[in-house]
Amino acid sequence: EGTGILSAGSSQPFDLYAVFTCNTKRKTSSIKFHTSDPKWNEIFEFDAMDDPPSRMDVAIHDSNQLDEAPIGHAEVNFLKSNLSDLMDIWVPLDGQCDPASNPKLHLRIFLNNSRGTEVVLNYLAKMGNEVGKKINLRSAQTNLAFRKLFNLPPEEFLIDDFTCHLKRKMPLQ
Q: What is the chain's mean pLDDT, rounded?
A: 80
Q: Output the pLDDT for position 57.
A: 92
Q: For 126-142, write each residue's pLDDT tens digit.
A: 767 776 777 666 777 88
**Letter for the amino acid at 6?**
L
Between the alpha carbon of residue 29 and those of residues 1, 5, 48, 62, 120, the distances in Å are 11, 16, 19, 12, 31
Percent of the chain whose predicted confidence (pLDDT) is above 70: 75
φ, ψ of residue 25 in degrees (nearest 5) = -95, 140
What residues contact 38, with CB distance under 8 A and at least 6 apart? 1, 2, 5, 16, 32
pLDDT band at 170 (very low <50, low <70, confident <90, very high): low
pLDDT band at 120 (very low <50, low <70, confident <90, very high): low
| Ramachandran bin of 130, using left for φ above 0, alpha for ψ from -120 to 50, beta for the remaining angles | alpha
- Specify which residues 107 forms β-bridges with: 89
Q: Output the pLDDT for position 172.
A: 62
Q: Output the pLDDT for position 24.
A: 84
Comparing 42 with 172, the larger pLDDT belongs to 42
Q: For 138-148, write each residue's pLDDT tens digit.
A: 777 888 888 88
In angstroms, the CA 109 to CA 167 distance is 43
Q: Output the pLDDT for position 76.
A: 87
Structural domains in the chain?
2-107 (2.60.40.150)
Quick one: which H or E segment has residue 140? Answer: helix 140-150
